[in-house]
């Protein structure tokens, strides 16, 4: 999967913003873990950012983790 570098950059910014929001819910989450959670929570952006497929069934698990 080839991704335009500009789209990848933009997706990364959106994912990073989402990751920072996730860190507000769970202060024990590292930056790296928060970014991984953001990728799982938004697989469309995750696929653009990574250039590879992302699980699409993890959104509910991310929500449980953040609120639990």
- What is the maximal distance between C-alpha atoms in the chain? 37
Token representation of residue 40: 């799982």
Which pairs with CB-CB distance under 8 Å and at least 24 residues apart come from 61-68?
A: 62/37, 65/26, 65/37, 66/22, 66/25, 66/26, 66/37, 67/25
Predicted confidence at residue 20, as pLDDT, reads 97
- The confidence score (pLDDT) of residue 21 equals 96
Domains: count for the chain: 1
- The pTM of this model reads 0.92
Give the domain range for residue 49. 5-67
Which tokens go with 64?
């449980």
pLDDT tens track for 2-16 = 889 999 999 999 999
Q: How many CB atoms lie within 10 A of CB 38?
A: 24
pLDDT < 50 stretches in the chain: none
For residue 3, the model assigns a pLDDT of 82
């Amino acid at each position: 999967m080839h991704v335009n570098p500009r789209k990848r950059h933009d997706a990364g910014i959106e994912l990073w913003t989402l990751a920072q929001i996730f860190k507000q819910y769970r202060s024990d989450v590292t930056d790296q873990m928060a970014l991984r959670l953001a990728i799982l929570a938004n697989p469309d952006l995750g696929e653009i950012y990574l250039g590879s497929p992302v699980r699409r069934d993890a959104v509910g698990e991310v929500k449980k983790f953040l609120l639990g």
